Chains A and B, each alone.
Chain A
């Protein structure tokens, strides 16, 4: 059991948890993730590590409510526990002095990009960050990103905050302005990462993306997270999650991430129906989760 020390929403549906996990906190490096399971009948899902505090023995994870498990997770608060948290998994980001690095964070992906931005800055890079979100409310970690970036650009799809548009618009501007870019790191929705990859491919700018395929064990055993890199199978959990964006077959990733869409929607619909039926849904759901028999 892994105790939640603190939990708070960063944006609607996006929640940050501080979790007691001393072993993971000691070892976590930027670019890595954890897999968690919240109750006995629960699924295992990969989750972003935003930060960790080795002294206190805690890690911060950031979760966006998307399916049943993430919705349930977001009902938990400080004092609750998570049944299993395993990690840190995946290879850490390759941190070096590249020169000028553009860090692109889309939506909740910003939480994954943040520790990498911190490390790149510390390694002496000029860090230009672009954070994109659907709307104003979903822009997360703005002060944190600003603090580690030489410049921070923000876009919202609907223009409700900062500049209307997509992260690629900003990236294109940088390129068109003649900014010398040595590396781009993009973490976010697949469509965003693909768009970034397409843009930088033409310019021959080395680009790294962090992939999020379906995963079970996270140690290479199941092979469910296989992705096509340069025409070959690689496992995101042991060979990644970061890959050369120009070698990733995004179409295969999109296709494979859709395998269980029907089941996922059904589970979420049942969860929401159950929630709606209950006036005190949050606290009941909490109690049930603790007993580990939520259906």
Chain B
């Protein structure tokens, strides 16, 4: 792939572009931010954004776009940044991505667009995530956006779950002229974006603005509805007149390790821990009513190495934990968390206990956690996941004193929809079966995507599924073919 011959707005030659260093993201100093919930990354200024945008090589076949689960036209939006048309850049992103302010913050770009950036063969990749975030924030600051002009088709779609995949489906389908109604089980909209991802990584205000924007476009939202319990999918299609249903209910039930002491007071699932903080604001007790264990001066550990694990332990640190550990049974190389989060966590003073696993939680005899009994691991042959299998080192047992342990080892399928929707096929792990390209389930008119199909993954992969589903739903509603 070579830089294109088309008339570029970029004044620099390809050689000059490579020489421009990747612009650093301004961030809150680590010692300060470890004490607050304000965002870690502060965002590019217009100058930094334009400087960074100049680095784009404008490949003829942009691999960044090919590797984006929602297919954002990176080259085209970056070009608009170069000429200072930031609103135009935002509109260009929105053609493919209804949540740019979210993905600009939480997407693992190193696995997608930036991972395939041609620049990265020689220097650091283009800061695509940072640029995306800049234009999305710019658009929100300006408070102006162009509402797409669409003609109503008269078709109605129910979207179950207001997380990243549901919002993507809603945003895409409303622009095709379908009526869209989103059902949410919780009292707040946004799914994992509000209950799971903490303020310092994704401010709630950002999600609210994105949802307000969708409301303006005509999407209807209804909270406090647990589809499967409050209303079934059959009732939505047969009685409430929905022509199609998209199920994007998310990952589901937190997994536990089934080791001794997991029921002790002080052992949380990451979902519960983060929900208490993010959704219920329990750390503001008694201003807010939902309580949580006071972490000030306490030793806290998270078990797991994903983004959720890091979100949980970095939250614990901000809530006054004296020691904050990540206990992960494999090594750095296998950690699924985003590289930037791991880097930030280390800067903040999180203690990473790698190749370590708890085998038992110990109690004070009154039901409260006092320590995790751990063993050290070493890596053997690759397992089914392709990662080297961790094996226990003989005689490596030690006790790590802890007041709070947070289990972040993944989730299993939530059974509510599957068990209340006859004919909806599931796989052997209980997740909903859906075609990988069309997101169609075994039930006519019912589509599914995101974690309820794949098991826990990322925001952007859920959004990718949402995009494919929206295309497929539109096709179904237009042709009637299944």
B425 touches A (CB below 8 Å) = no
Residues from chain A with Cβ under 8 Å of B186 in the complex = 86, 217
B258 touches A (CB below 8 Å) = yes
| Docked-complex contact A224 and B272, CB < 8 angstroms | yes
| Docked-complex contact A41 and B288, CB < 8 angstroms | yes
A43 touches B (CB below 8 Å) = yes
| Chain B minimum-CB-distance residue to A266 | B286
| Docked-complex contact A219 and B414, CB < 8 angstroms | yes
Give per-residue flags for B235-268: 1 if the beta carbon is below 8 A from chain A beta carbons, else 0: 0000000000000001011101010001111001
| Docked-complex contact B252 and A221, CB < 8 angstroms | yes
- How far is the CB of B342 from the nearest CB of chain A, in Å? 25
A258 touches B (CB below 8 Å) = yes
B224 touches A (CB below 8 Å) = yes
B297 touches A (CB below 8 Å) = no
- How far is the CB of A201 from the nearest CB of chain B, in Å? 21
| Chain A minimum-CB-distance residue to B270 | A223
| Docked-complex contact B224 and A263, CB < 8 angstroms | no
Please, how many angstroms separate the alpha-carbon atoms of A263 and B223 in the complex? 28
| Docked-complex contact B285 and A216, CB < 8 angstroms | no
Please, how many angstroms separate the alpha-carbon atoms of A74 and B339 in the complex? 50
| Docked-complex contact A233 and B263, CB < 8 angstroms | yes
Residues from chain B with Cβ under 8 Å of A260 in the complex = 291-292
Residues from chain A with Cβ under 8 Å of B263 in the complex = 226, 228, 233, 252, 255-256
Residues from chain A with Cβ under 8 Å of B185 in the complex = 86, 217, 219
Residues from chain A with Cβ under 8 Å of B195 in the complex = 217, 221
| Chain A minimum-CB-distance residue to B224 | A86
Given contacts A222-B254, A238-B414, A255-B265, contact A270 B286 (CB under 8 A): yes
Please, how many angstroms separate the alpha-carbon atoms of A267 and B288 in the complex? 10
A63 touches B (CB below 8 Å) = no
A88 touches B (CB below 8 Å) = yes
B32 touches A (CB below 8 Å) = no
| Docked-complex contact B224 and A85, CB < 8 angstroms | yes
| Docked-complex contact B272 and A87, CB < 8 angstroms | no
CB contact between B269 and one of A23, A27, A224 (< 8 Å): that residue? A224
Given contacts A89-B226, A219-B226, A259-B265, contact A23 B231 (CB under 8 A): yes
| Chain B minimum-CB-distance residue to A255 | B367
B155 touches A (CB below 8 Å) = no
B287 touches A (CB below 8 Å) = yes
Give per-residue flags for A260-275: 1 if the beta carbon is below 8 A from chain B beta carbons, else 0: 1001101100100000
Could you tell me the dominant secondary structure of chain B's interface residues? loop
- How far is the CB of B157 from the nearest CB of chain A, in Å? 19
Residues from chain B with Cβ under 8 Å of A259 in the complex = 265, 293
CB contact between B229 and one of A27, A44, A222 (< 8 Å): that residue? A27
Q: 8 Å CB contacts to A: which residues of B400-436?
A: 414-416
B25 touches A (CB below 8 Å) = no
Q: 8 Å CB contacts to A: which residues of B3-62?
A: none
Number of A-B residue pairs, CB cutoff 8 Å, is 125
Give per-residue flags for A45-85: 1 if the beta carbon is below 8 A from chain B beta carbons, else 0: 00000000000000000000000110000000000000111
| Docked-complex contact A220 and B289, CB < 8 angstroms | no
A17 touches B (CB below 8 Å) = no
Q: How large is the interface on A (under 10, 10 to 19, 20 to 34, 35 or more residues)?
A: 35 or more
| Chain B minimum-CB-distance residue to A267 | B286
- How far is the CB of A273 from the nearest CB of chain B, in Å? 12
- How far is the CB of B380 from the nearest CB of chain A, in Å? 29
Residues from chain A with Cβ under 8 Å of B258 in the complex = 232-233
CB contact between B225 and one of A23, A218, A228 (< 8 Å): that residue? A23
Residues from chain A with Cβ under 8 Å of B262 in the complex = 233
Residues from chain A with Cβ under 8 Å of B112 in the complex = none
Please, how many angstroms separate the alpha-carbon atoms of A69 and B223 in the complex? 21
Residues from chain A with Cβ under 8 Å of B272 in the complex = 216, 222-224
Residues from chain B with Cβ under 8 Å of A69 in the complex = 289
| Chain A minimum-CB-distance residue to B414 | A220
Please, how many angstroms separate the alpha-carbon atoms of A132 and B215 in the complex? 51
Residues from chain B with Cβ under 8 Å of A23 in the complex = 225, 230-231
Residues from chain A with Cβ under 8 Å of B250 in the complex = 221
A181 touches B (CB below 8 Å) = no
Residues from chain B with Cβ under 8 Å of A216 in the complex = 272, 275-276, 279-280, 290
Give per-residue flags for B337-350: 1 if the beta carbon is below 8 A from chain A beta carbons, else 0: 00000000000000
- How far is the CB of B147 from the nearest CB of chain A, in Å? 28
Please, how many angstroms separate the alpha-carbon atoms of A221 and B290 in the complex? 17
Residues from chain A with Cβ under 8 Å of B293 in the complex = 259
Q: List 28 A-B contacts (CB under 8 A).
A: A23-B230, A24-B230, A27-B230, A27-B231, A43-B290, A43-B291, A68-B289, A69-B289, A84-B187, A86-B226, A216-B275, A216-B290, A218-B226, A219-B416, A220-B414, A220-B415, A221-B253, A221-B254, A222-B271, A223-B271, A223-B272, A226-B256, A238-B414, A238-B415, A255-B265, A256-B265, A266-B286, A267-B289
Q: List 7 other contacts, CB 8 Å, given A252-B263, A258-B265.
A: A42-B288, A43-B290, A43-B291, A217-B195, A223-B254, A223-B269, A256-B265
